[in-house]
Structure 1
Amino acid sequence: MSESILPRRHLSRRRFIAAAGATAGALLLPGAHAVPARALVFAHRGASALRPEHTLAAYAKAIADGADFIEPDLVCTKDGILVARHEADLTETTDVARRSEFASRRTRRTLDGERHDGWFVDDFTLAELKTLRAIERLPQSRPGSARYDGMFQLVTFEEVIDFVAAQSAVTGRLIGLVPELKSSTYFAARKLALEDRFIATLAAHEYTRRAPVEIQSFEVANLRYLREKLGKRANLRLMQLVGVGATRPSDVAAAGGKLTYADMATPAGLRDVAAYADIFSPPTRALIPLRPDGRLDAPTALAQDVRAAGLRLETWTFRPENRFLAADFRDGAGEHARNEAGSVAEIKRYLALGLDGFFTDDPALGRQAVDA
């Protein structure tokens, strides 16, 4: 994600350097609370830099590497089952394009305002989906992960919960879940609304009645609905994800509304978010943007404003390849090369802002940065 929410203003460079030299446990941001001593490490789609995303292998690797939470993005099958996929379009993350028996199901749909040509999860029953196998989304950058193409099944949300509960029992750690409801407006239009299915699944499992669960969405109406239905619970938080600049949430756009993600990132917008959510989750570059030369600029005021609104600050997403890093942290090994030291250094720069949590494709590097 190379763009960011338009910054309201910047902190002075001197103040940022002073903050960067402080530990996360010591840093205080104006107008709010003490920053937590240790930020939470969220495994983005599992350890997706190392295994095909949203597979039990990716989740297992993430947990072994020290993730505090694992992320299942949730979409819905034709027969109403929640499964873990990044989006409704199956084309880039499964072998469906190679499966002649499903060739006739290729079609075009609009997802979250973007036109897609491919195969869609809501055209498949769970039984059919289980015949597919996961593949690596970014094989050029992640050839190590691509070696596992074709090895792993797609999994349901219930299977993810059971797996995490089992891993918790084995490791002795209470591992959190940070599910994202994907494209709620799209699935509602397809008569496959996600929210009540999701609530029923949480209620059906002992683990999700007590383990930490942070529920994310780029939309607004579904989070408001979940807050109304779930209320305030000790183990549950709601996370408002935000995209870039003048982009509107899909539900807002579908209803003809004018609210943009940039509006939501203003002090007034953040106060509105705090009425229904617990967490504000912007892209990393909304917190520290890039200069024209690709190096990090001074931080925006967004971290301060989020805390002033009484919200937690959890950002997305850190990735370990040079192509995704700010120029400050790249090495000379090529854009697709893995750069562990650079990724850890970049995460640490952002941790100095006092993050409550962050998403990373490589939880081992996130763990290393936090533990440092």
Structure 2
Amino acid sequence: MPDSTVLLRQYAPTTPQGYGRPVVIGHRGASGYRPEHTLASYELAARMGADFMEPDLVATSDGVLVARHEPEISGTTDVASRPEFADRRRTVLLDGESATGWFTHDFTLAELKTLRVVERLPGVRQQNTLYDGMFEVPTFQEILDLRTRLTAELDREIGVYPETKHPTYFRELGLELEGPLVRALREAGLDRPDAPVFVQSFEAYNLREMYSDHGLRAPMIFLTCSSGTPYDDPRGYAEYTSPAGLRELARFAAGIGPHKSQVIPCLSDGTLGTPTSLVADAHAVGLAVHPYTFRAENQFLPADYVVEGGPNAFGRAIDEQVAFLRAGVDGLFTDQADIGVVARANFLATTD
């Protein structure tokens, strides 16, 4: 079993267990203000006060880990407008679902580096389209190098929170994610229980393999959904987040990353309800809880946190995040790291 005690003392919140403070996780960087998964987005999140930069990792055809939300990249790069790559468009079966577009595993790193990133949600974050075409797709190594530089410049430890995206899919292509990820962390001196790292995955098998087969000792987080099952896994997320399931996860993981509705669901009228037992159940077996994803725009908020101004206006996002911190969560995945920092400060001010 990994020794997560050191990690929890450093990164978990002020709770009855008596650990430290909640962490702010820059979800895909500061993706509310810059196109997601760019070095500019990660750096902005850190400078806004995020404790962790969070990249989603996929592989190129030559086995290099790069940061993209999905292996399909037509919505996050300019590949669709590049005639030299028109013949790369195809349809694949991605974790059992048909997907059509351009995929990272059909490009070498050198080819991928010729593309430029665009905003994934232009209808929501029109201001981010100002930066379309300015940034490259970053490698995981470039993100680790950025972490080192920012840690020195900001004089505080900046963590990295990588997610393996569709690991079974990539393994079937002969492009496994686990080994390259573990090697990169190890070479950076970050494969240890007290490292400023969380390795995350929606597939429990993936995490077990990194722990047992690759010897990963950096803390790991099992991501969960409010319904469904991990890919190619007969056990549903509901079973994994039961008291018995959480005890099993605690054998190799440091925490869970549930959808925020698993911590505090919304009622039938869309307003925020009351907390479930998930946080207490997880804490009882020593697991941290980092829910996702907190976004400031009205359309992503509970109905009672919405303000006038339309779906893309910022609502009462600080108050929403404070409500979850009061429910005992150990951190927040947020698209707007500055809001997470303010919410944490407001919460801690009321608990002193």
Question: Normalising to structure 1: TM-score of the pair?
Answer: 0.86
| Matching residue within 339, 344, 350 for 1:365 | 339
Determine the structure 2 residue equivalent to 1:219.
203
SS at 1:67 equivalent = coil
SS at 1:318 equivalent = coil
CA distance, structure 1, for counterparts of residue 214 and residue 199 of structure 2:
11
Determine the structure 2 residue equivalent to 1:154.
137
What is the 5 A alignment of 1:24-39?
25=14, 27-28=15-16, 33-34=17-18, 36-39=19-22
CA distance, structure 2, for counterparts of residue 226 and residue 53 of structure 1:
26
What is the 5 A alignment of 1:136-285?
136-206=119-189, 211-229=195-213, 231=215, 233=217, 236-245=218-227, 247-252=228-233, 258-285=234-261
Kindly report the root-mean-square deviation, in angstroms, between the aligned alpha carbons of the 2 structures: 1.5
Determine the structure 1 residue equivalent to 2:289.
313
CA distance, structure 2, for counterparts of residue 133 and residue 168 of structure 1:
27
Question: 1:81 aligned to 2:64?
Answer: yes
Determine the structure 1 residue equivalent to 2:6.
none
| Matching residue within 324, 335, 356 for 2:300 | 324
Letter in 1 for 2:58: V
CA distance, structure 2, for counterparts of residue 263 and residue 86 of structure 1:
26
Determine the structure 2 residue equivalent to 1:11.
none
| Matching residue within 115, 126, 141 for 1:132 | 115
| Matching residue within 26, 33, 46 for 2:29 | 46
Once the two structures are aligned, what percentage of the paired residues are identical? 45
Letter in 2 for 1:121: T
Deviation string 1:133-161 (CA, Å, 9 cap, x unpaired) is 11111111101111101100111000110
**Contact 1:74 1:82 (C-alpha < 8 Å) held by counterparts:** yes
SS at 1:110 equivalent = strand
SS at 1:315 equivalent = coil
Please report how far the alpha carbon of residue 229 of structure 1 lies from its aligned counterpart in structure 2 after TM superposition: 4.4
CA distance, structure 1, for counterparts of residue 39 and residue 230 of structure 2:
30
Please report how far the alpha carbon of residue 322 of structure 1 lies from its aligned counterpart in structure 2 after TM superposition: 0.4
What is the 5 A alignment of 1:276-295?
276-295=252-271
Question: Normalising to structure 2: TM-score of the pair?
Answer: 0.91
Please report how far the alpha carbon of residue 111 of structure 1 lies from its aligned counterpart in structure 2 after TM superposition: 2.2
Letter in 1 for 2:319: A
CA distance, structure 1, for counterparts of residue 105 and residue 139 of structure 2:
14
CA distance, structure 2, for counterparts of residue 214 and residue 113 of structure 1:
27
Question: 1:304 aligned to 2:286?
Answer: no
Letter in 2 for 1:123: D
SS at 2:198 equivalent = strand
SS at 1:147 equivalent = helix
The size of the alignment, in residue pairs, is: 333
Question: 1:344 aligned to 2:283?
Answer: no
Question: 1:94 aligned to 2:77?
Answer: yes
**Contact 1:220 1:251 (C-alpha < 8 Å) held by counterparts:** no
Question: 1:111 aligned to 2:94?
Answer: yes
CA distance, structure 1, for counterparts of residue 254 and residue 224 of structure 2:
14
Please report how far the alpha carbon of residue 357 of structure 1 lies from its aligned counterpart in structure 2 after TM superposition: 1.1
In structure 2, stretches of 5+ residues that fail to align are 1-12, 347-352
Question: 1:355 aligned to 2:329?
Answer: yes
**Contact 1:221 1:251 (C-alpha < 8 Å) held by counterparts:** no
In structure 1, stretches of 5+ residues that fail to align are 1-23, 253-257
**Contact 1:105 1:123 (C-alpha < 8 Å) held by counterparts:** yes
Please report how far the alpha carbon of residue 251 of structure 1 lies from its aligned counterpart in structure 2 after TM superposition: 3.5
CA distance, structure 2, for counterparts of residue 337 and residue 46 of structure 1:
20
